[in-house]
Amino acid sequence: MRPVLSAVAAIAVVAASLGIFASPAAAHERRTVGPYAFVVGWLSEPSYSGLLNGLDLTVTETATGKAVEGLEKTLRAEIVSGGGASRLALALASRFGLPGKYQGQVVPTRTGDYVFHISGTVGTTSVDEKFESGPNRFGGIEDTAALQFPDKVPSAIELSRTLDDVNRRLTIAIGLAGVALLASIASLGVGLRRR
């Protein structure tokens, strides 16, 4: 159990250090939606699996550049992974002291590309837009292995597979021990009958 706790502690330290040293977003996608400009990406880039992150959304009026406020009440956001196989509604919230900026927190658990689906209304404009990570947009989720030092911490998926394998082997061993015990009891019973 101690190695599992050590792994969890190491991941927490990495997460905290990335939060402290995170730089402003390196790449976001900018798109015009009616009379508004939407800018979408991750709150923290580069983005890593297993670490707290989230949708970073900025909405301004295209003509004036004025921030559009109050959209946490009229827009919905979800994150999509695996070609649509996995979806999660995000709680969209305005960012304190940053007019026109919104976030929806999530801990992405797989590496690869993700989609932010934003729908609802801005003023009288209907919104139904999908922003997908990729080249010339915003980055996908990367593995933390390259950042780990001095020891590499297994991912949650690797730990799960290891525990599943140990559980399977233990089940087989218990089954074999049960069969051996029954065989011993049977042979003892046969031996007693012969006396």
Q: How many helices (H) and strands (E) does the chain have?
A: 2, 11
Identify the pLDDT of residue 85. 84
Provide the pLDDT for residue 55. 97
The mean pLDDT of 39-47, rounded to a whole number, is: 95
**Nearest to 72, CA basis, from 89, 54, 94, 53:** 94
Q: What value does the mean pLDDT of the chain take? A: 85
Tokens found for residue 90: 């995000």
Among 64-73, 110-119, 151-160, whose mean pLDDT is lowest?
151-160
**Strand-pair category, 115-122 with 75-81:** antiparallel
Which range has the worst mean pLDDT, 4-18, 62-76, 80-94? 4-18
Distance in angstroms (rounded) separating the CA atoms of residues 74 and 122: 7
Confidence check: pLDDT of 81 > 70: yes
Q: What is the structure's pLDDT at 8?
A: 40
